[in-house]
Structure 1
Amino acid sequence: MPSTPSSEAQTWFKSSHSGGNTTECVEAAHLGEATAIRDSKATEGSSLVFRPNAWTSFVSALQDGRLR
């Protein structure tokens, strides 16, 4: 899974599942045929980049409780 440095040129948005919890905030950015995610408290760090099928598998694994 490739990673990419965070960039202000990308349009980041806070995950709708982050809610008011300040300890578990995730931001995402749509990059054409990919989705990037990063920790909103560490925006200068790297982000994870997922292709569509990998993103779907990742979200499904989170929803199913396979990733903790």
Structure 2
Amino acid sequence: MTSAIIGPRTMEQLDDLLAGAEVTLSDEILDQIDQIVPPGTDVGTLDQAHLPPALRSPLLRRRPVGDRTAA
């Protein structure tokens, strides 16, 4: 059996990835992303019958701005 292990291979790659934890996206940016790829869009062939609550209610999709960074 084989499997792919994904992730950074160097410290530089790890540092670049960790820097992303400090990024906070504004509601305006998130709205623009939602316009490009609407919430719940699935390009796979998974079962489409289940629609999670966060996709049914926009209020459940986003945490408050102050809670969005990984601290």
Q: TM-score, normalised by structure 2?
A: 0.23
Q: Structure 1 or 2: larger strand share?
A: 1
When Rg is computed on C-alpha atoms for both structures, the one with the higher figure is 2
Q: TM-score, normalised by structure 1?
A: 0.24
